[in-house]
Amino acid sequence: MVLDNASIHTAAIVQQRRAGWEARDLYLFFLLPYSLHLTIAETVWRHLKGGWLRPEDYRSTDELAYATNRCLAAFGKELRIRFSPFNEN
Handedness of CA 14, 44, 73, 49 (dihedral sign): positive
pLDDT on residue 39: 67
Domain residues of the chain, as ranges? 1-33, 34-89
Classify each residue of 58-70 as buried b or exposed e, where b means 16 or more C-beta atoms within 10 Å of its C-beta.
eeeeeeeeebbee
Residue 68: per-residue pLDDT: 92
pTM (2 d.p.): 0.48
| pLDDT at residue 85 tops 70 | no
Distance CA(49)–CA(57), nearest Å, equals: 11
| pLDDT 10s digits, 1-44 | 888 878 888 899 999 999 999 999 999 988 877 665 566 777 78
pLDDT given at position 20: 95
Distance between CA 40 and CA 62 in Å, rounded?
26
Confidence band of 66 (pLDDT split at 50, 70, 90): very high
In angstroms, the first-to-last Cα distance of the chain is: 37
Residue 36 parent element (H or E): helix 36-47
